[in-house]
Chains A and B, each alone.
Chain A
């Protein structure tokens, strides 16, 4: 039976509480930190050797889809009514809107050290001590909107720019490709200024703190953000029904991307599923 992933702004008080409680249960059991670690371990950049699965690669979308499913299964073992909600950052755009409320993810970090002080994930609440972090800080940090040099969340038109590209991805299948839905959504631009971060990357930058680093999963907004990114893949598929995940076949031995990206029918580490198998999730969940 399929379940529904909802816009976080539409959750009832009870749904919010059950989602938060299930996260805290996974954290208490030590399961949550395995998700943090896995995301760190699978970040391979494209200027280095080796297979890229989670970022700077066509499998950015199926990898995170599978990663969310894994978290969601864990949450639903705790409470079968829970699904991962999505944060529509084209609509809920301020530091006080959802999901930054006390009954959900809590608010911004304080000025002095960016420590989140409100909500269930505040260190002082006693349930959310960081153990797999880039620094030795034990508390969750945020810098919503980047106080030192403010930037805005991606706009609806920026998202539209990605969705309107009918081609899923293109050679060289990395962070430098300028066309294709995948990188326009993942958001690697050129140069180093503010305009170089698009869509997905820009949201990580906007939230800041833990979300900016390799251990971004430490902030539960990671899941709400990636559920919304996953929804865009779903929308893109419906808008371009003749187009599919690319590359369809692995790059050949003379190609610089040989053995560096996952083709449509190759297994996507660390799982036993392929992008082909992950393209259609209609029997598992749908978006409201």
Chain B
């Protein structure tokens, strides 16, 4: 294949100077709102989502057996990110499961990439539902903590840091 594989480098190549045309006033207002601090925005965002369960599972660690697999999730403070930001360390039978976050606050995993779930726990259980018997996760995506376990075979070295997960 002749495509370049340098995703991170290519991502950084942005065409500048096209802001002259500018967004409409309405877009500008919404943009300003959206770029307010996460802290100020949080109540607005929360109000626009389905009511979360009482114990705020979006921030609660979990460690349970689900369909014969050990699933663990630990929210940890996100280093170098906005105040209150957290990252998730998720494992299934000890192997890292990479989660991604949608703009509406829901979560999706590498296993189940076209559906999102309200909480990291729900996304992790849904991933387990789809992992076949006898199979284990391969650490395919970069882990948010910089580790690439190399558990798989033959993967290319991956440009890290593109898939940071934070809450």
A44: B residues at CB distance < 8 A: 100, 162-163
Set A43, A172, A270: member contacting B5, Cβ < 8 A: A270
Known contacts A114-B132, A134-B137; A48 and B156 CB within 8 A of each other: no
Question: Sorted from nearest, which 5 A-B pairs have the closest CB atoms?
Answer: A47-B101, A256-B34, A269-B10, A255-B31, A45-B100
Q: Give the segment of A120-128, A233-241, A245-253 that binds chain B.
A: A245-253
CA distance A215 to B155 in the complex (A): 13
- A176 interfacial contact with B, CB 8 Å: yes
- A254 adjacent to B32 (CB under 8 Å): yes
B117: A residues at CB distance < 8 A: 192
A265: B residues at CB distance < 8 A: 15, 18
The digit string for A189-228, where 1 denotes a CB below 8 A from any CB of B, is 0111000110001001100110011111000000000000
Classify the interface of chain A: helix, strand, loop or mixed.
loop
> Which residues between 100 and 114 of chain B lie within 8 Å of chain A, taking CB atoms?
100-106, 108, 110-114
- A269 adjacent to B153 (CB under 8 Å): no
- A78 interfacial contact with B, CB 8 Å: no
Q: Give chain A nearest CB distance to B18 CB in angstroms.
A: 5
- B115 adjacent to A197 (CB under 8 Å): yes
- B162 adjacent to A41 (CB under 8 Å): yes
- B130 adjacent to A250 (CB under 8 Å): no
- B22 interfacial contact with A, CB 8 Å: yes
CA distance A215 to B130 in the complex (A): 13
- A141 adjacent to B132 (CB under 8 Å): yes
Interface residues of B (CB under 8 A from A): 1-7, 10-11, 13-15, 18-19, 21-23, 27-28, 30-32, 34-35, 50, 100-106, 108, 110-118, 122, 129-138, 140-141, 151-156, 158-159, 162-166
CA distance A257 to B33 in the complex (A): 12
- A112 interfacial contact with B, CB 8 Å: yes
Q: Give chain B nearest CB distance to A174 CB in angstroms.
A: 5
Closest to B134 in A: A113
A252: B residues at CB distance < 8 A: 19, 22-23, 28, 31
A40: B residues at CB distance < 8 A: 110, 140-141
A248: B residues at CB distance < 8 A: 21
Q: List 13 A-B contacts (CB under 8 A).
A: A38-B5, A49-B166, A50-B164, A56-B102, A174-B103, A188-B102, A197-B114, A214-B141, A254-B32, A257-B31, A267-B15, A270-B7, A271-B4
CA distance A24 to B95 in the complex (A): 31
- B103 adjacent to A175 (CB under 8 Å): yes
Closest to A41 in B: B7
Closest to A33 in B: B154
| Additional A-B contact list (12), CB under 8 Å, known A47-B101, A171-B23 | A37-B5, A47-B100, A134-B138, A141-B132, A175-B104, A192-B106, A192-B116, A197-B114, A212-B114, A213-B113, A214-B113, A269-B13
CA distance A244 to B27 in the complex (A): 19
A38: B residues at CB distance < 8 A: 1, 3, 5
- B140 adjacent to A46 (CB under 8 Å): no
- A31 interfacial contact with B, CB 8 Å: yes
CA distance A270 to B3 in the complex (A): 7
Set B135, B153, B166: member contacting A137, Cβ < 8 A: B135
B163: A residues at CB distance < 8 A: 43-45, 48
B140: A residues at CB distance < 8 A: 40, 132-134, 214-215
Q: Give chain A nearest CB distance to B37 CB in angstroms.
A: 12
- A103 interfacial contact with B, CB 8 Å: no
A16: B residues at CB distance < 8 A: none
Q: Give chain A nearest CB distance to B146 CB in angstroms.
A: 16
- B100 adjacent to A205 (CB under 8 Å): no
Set B28, B105, B112, B151: member contacting A47, Cβ < 8 A: B105
